[in-house]
Amino acid sequence: MSSTIELGQLRRDRSNRRPRRTRLDPFPRDPVRRWILRLALVAPMLFFAMLDDLSARVEGTPNADLVGSVGAIDWSRGDAQWLAELYPHISMLIAAGNPLGRLGLSLVGAVAAGFLLQKVAEIIAQRAIPLSTGIILVIALAANPLFAYFALENLPGFLAITFFGLALADLVRFVNWGNTESGFRAGILIMMAALSDPSGILFALVAVLASPFLRHGRAYAPGLRAANVLVIGFPTAGAFATIAVLNVAFFRSPWPGLDLAALAASVPAASRDVVALYSTPEGWLLIAAVASAWLVALIVRRPAAMPVSAIVFLLLNIGMILGMFHPGAAGITFTLLTLLAITLIPAARTPTTNVLVDLVAVLQIVIAWRAAFESDVVLEWMLGIAAASLVLFG
Amino acid sequence: MALGGDASATRTADSEAFAELLVSGGLVSPENLAFARQVKQRTGAHIDEVLISQGLLDSESLLIAEAHAWGIHPIDLAAVAFDEAIVRSVPGQTYLDENWLPIRRNARGAIVVATARGVSPDRESAIRTRLGGAELQFVATTSWEIKNACLRLFRAEIADEAANELWRQNPSLSARITFSRGQKAGGILSALTIIGLAVVWPVQVVIGVVTVLSLVFLAGTSCKFLVAMRGARYDVVERITQRQVDLLDDRDLPRYTVLVPVFREANIVGQLIRNLGGIDYPTEKLEVLILIEEEDHETRDAVLTSNPPPHFRIITIPKGHPQTKPRACNVGLYFATGDHLVIYDAEDTPDPDQLKKAVIAFRRGGSETVCVQASLNYFNDRENVLTRMFTLEYSYWFDYMLAGLDLGDLPIPLGGTSNHFRTAALIELGGWDPYNVTEDADLGIRASALGYRVGVINSTTMEEANTSIPNFIRQRSRWIKGYMQTTLVHARQPIALMNQIGLRRFLSFVLLIAGTPLTFLGVIPFYLITAVTLVAPTELVAQFFPVWLLWITLLNFVIGNVIMIYLSMMGPYKRGTFHLVLWALVNPLYWLLHSIAAYKGLWQLITKPHYWEKTEHGLTTHVQHD
């Protein structure tokens, strides 16, 4: 036997050690194409980021406040008090290392959007969802001003939802398909979401509370659901416990910036505001987004997904009451629920199901655009973009 | 061609005439002979091997029958006086390979030669040539008698070879010298530099050391986590399926040797025989060599009284230094006749089809695969907190870490038992290093360094987890000391090693083998620093350390702990032992034990580097269930 044949045999044998992959394949499978897809998805967002920079910037957006918060930190203090002011760490560190101010944050948001949408495309491909339905779902999620504003003007919130979106796909693979690697990656991604924005803490809670409702792919063994919850929630809990321990060690308080008394005092007024929200078209649109998610759950015969959407909605409201969302934030509920709906679509469907999913996705597109026009801050942002476009293109 | 290998010419035991002789002599019943023929048909083994391995014929009767068939007299080698000058005129290994042994000259001046094979003219001529052309008189014996006689006659040589062969082949690969001259010089120079700097800038030096240690800690734990994550990718996929095992033809199976080194373990000998008796492999192609130290009469007596099956053999390990498991294994390797070889501890219960899975893995892996490692796990995980923690650790290590290292084609430090080898490649590698107290980990790294591949198989050996803390500390101190020895051995020529195995594998070696003891050594100091920081006023601490640096250092350490807890949670997933997941939170305390063991190991590395801390087995009150 020639050495060439031996090497060929060896290569074949080595490849045999790896099981054939199907459901776990990245999309596109070729890394070069994957990067091209990401760049293609990033490109329009980069374009809007540039327009955004040319426009008269909307003040009071989360990115504007993030730049202000980082600028206010005194990095040279001997007592290192700034360590206690770093939360949300990931967003703060990005902002601190970014020389381009708000434009830089928008660019990072645009890149994150590209990664998130590529992951959504991957979920769609892994579930063998028809191309037409897939395109409609991606349009429903991303081709609207809510998504663009969210990505370009709320980096902390968008990073949190991006990490959470990436985690969702892993979470489903972990719980439904019994893929251990995905579970542990989901735990890490959820932690990163929680370290990107306070809303990420809510997302972590969503993941922890939702996982028992998902259909479990492993053979039942005592303690399985509890173990899954622990795997999903532990990194976040561990990270916050670490920060709290270090804060106690150095600053004698688990969370030096947190004024619990003031927070408690603000709850009644915030509750009234939230209740009032649902008497406005903006509030109705939030409920419509939840209703759409329930519709998808019913269409794909995943009733267990309905409590998940309900938990998300409940936690989002609690988040609003506790002030976990920036006043200038918009699009979080819509993006989150749409992401959840896409993630929970199963691989096995009938043609009728696909058509019904298409219809709900179209409904989502309408809801997204309507909600964008109902939100003052998004509307102002859109006008700014439009004005910048006019200037640029005459 | 080896003389003993000329089977067609010399295997009288397989001829029809011989078979009829066995029946007519009343040594074997016609039914048993028919059964042996069936087995021969199925497995390709010889009739005599079948009869012996099945206990249908004893060695003595076979010897008499063979002697009769060959037309020579039988002899009991245990009772004869050898002429050492004649015996030593030929290397001992030749006798083992070729199944003959000269005894002494008879009255006529001819050399009496014991043979375990029939005497064809070619064989006689070849032996005569070996013995300088002397006249020969043949007497019949068995292969095992020849091995035992060789062990007695070449006792000193075998003991010396088992201890020092690797050292002679390549001193730089042996841990006989703990610190090389360069390492001593470098170590002293570094220590003096650090001390000098500490005199001038004490605070800065302490900060530097603490910072480096914290980074090593974080890098070590992160590396383990990333590798294990990769291993988790296919944890629910069976690499070798039951169907592939079923498709194996017994006739194609290679001969297998099982080495079981035991020392003062009379209490679990019965368990050993029961557990290894359950291996699903044709006994005609299986030899189990129980390696017992010369002085350990109690264990030897226990084995003999427990009536082991015929394919179980005792090898007495000649006294010598160092008295370690790898030295015993090297003696076992000297006598092993299997194409493949595996090591089990006395208390091990391997999956019955483990050897067959290893055979498949070797066939798949090609000639570059020198070893495959099976997973280890514990049957007494629910016994106490320590056994739970031990099981968690082993689960992540064997089910995820090793799988990740295998997928990444990174060096795999072998675990203590259930490592299966190609015997010829193992000999080529120089066997185990008797001076290294984690000879298994060292061998895995050595194999990688020499361009071989170590793989893993989806088969498990159940063991007994350590139930007592002092026993645990003893065992761990040995393991950690062994990792230190392995690091020192392979770091003697770090640039050469990096060139040989590549940067990626080199970094994996540094973080896993060198990083592990360093990580454990760092645990107690970091616990103390954390405790002091929590108790002492920040202003006081700030006088000595920049607060931000200390904060980041402690962050590294705490995050490293969080990562290790999280990694431990992964362990139970493959086997569905979810009741263990919550126990992962106790890991920081478990690491405290590791740290104590690490300091003990470090002390022993300096004071008695080759001392083998014996782990007591048979302490569990739990019984393994299938």
Domain boundaries, chain B: 3-153, 234-473
Q: Which pair of tokens denotes residue A323? A: 């002030």
**Position B5 confidence tier, pLDDT thresholds 50, 70, 90:** very low
User: Which residue in chain B has the smallest CA separation from A253?
Assistant: B534
B544 touches chain A (CB under 8 A): no
**Position A288 confidence tier, pLDDT thresholds 50, 70, 90:** confident
Of A10, A16, A231, the CB nearest to B569: A231
| Residues 325-364 of chain B whose Cβ lies under 8 A from any Cβ of chain A | 364
Q: What is the mean pLDDT of chain B?
A: 90
Q: Inspect the interface and report whether the beta carbons of B578 and A224 lie closer than 8 Å.
A: yes
Question: Which candidate in A246, A247, A253 is best for mutational testing of the B interface (most B CBs within 10 A)?
Answer: A246
Q: Cis ω on the peptide bond leading into residue B352 (within 30° of 0)?
A: no
Of A79, A183, A234, the CB nearest to B538: A79
- ipTM beyond cut 0.95: no
**Worst-scoring range by mean pLDDT, A148-162, A217-231, B337-351?**
A217-231
Which pLDDT tens digit goes with each residue over B400-431?
999 999 989 899 999 889 999 999 999 999 99
Using a CB-CB cut-off of 8 Å, the residues of chain A touching B546 are 80
Using a CB-CB cut-off of 8 Å, the residues of chain B touching A85 are none
Give the pLDDT score at B12.
53
Q: Inspect the interface and report whether the beta carbons of A230 and B566 lie closer than 8 Å.
A: no
> What are the DSSP calls for B483-513, one per residue?
HHHHHHHHTSSHHHHHHHH-HHHHHHHIIII
Whether B138 contacts B116, CB under 8 Å: no
Residue B349, classed as helix, strand or coil, is strand
Q: Which pair of tokens denotes residue A151? A: 């990505």
Q: Inspect the interface and report whether the beta carbons of A227 and B364 lie closer than 8 Å.
A: no
How does strand B419-422 pair with strand B369-378? antiparallel
Which pLDDT tens digit goes with each residue over B497-547?
899 889 999 999 999 999 999 999 999 998 998 888 888 887 887 787 788
Using a CB-CB cut-off of 8 Å, the residues of chain A touching B229 are 181, 184-185
Whether B301 contacts B266, CB under 8 Å: yes
Give the pLDDT score at A16.
44
For residues A1-25, give the mean pLDDT: 44
User: Which residue in chain B has the smallest CA separation from A186?
Assistant: B229
The reported pTM is 0.85
Strand order, beta sheet including B73-74: B73-74, B136-140, B111-115, B100-105
Give the pLDDT score at A238.
95
Using a CB-CB cut-off of 8 Å, the residues of chain B touching A219 are 576
Using a CB-CB cut-off of 8 Å, the residues of chain A touching B545 are none
Q: Inspect the interface and report whether the beta carbons of B235 and A180 lie closer than 8 Å.
A: yes
Q: How far is B215 from chain A (nearest CA, A)?
A: 17
Using a CB-CB cut-off of 8 Å, the residues of chain A touching B550 are 250
How does strand B256-262 pair with strand B312-317? unpaired
Instruction: Tell me the CATH number for domain B234-473.
Output: 3.90.550.10
Q: How many CA atoms lie within 13 A of A264 on its CB side?
A: 3
Using a CB-CB cut-off of 8 Å, the residues of chain A touching B554 are 246, 249
A26 touches chain B (CB under 8 A): no
A20 touches chain B (CB under 8 A): no
State the Rg of chain A over Cα. 22
Give the pLDDT score at B550.
83
| Residues 182-211 of chain B whose Cβ lies under 8 A from any Cβ of chain A | none
Instruction: Tell me the CATH number for domain B3-153.
Output: 3.30.300.160
Closest-CA residue to A94 (of A118, A67, A113): A67
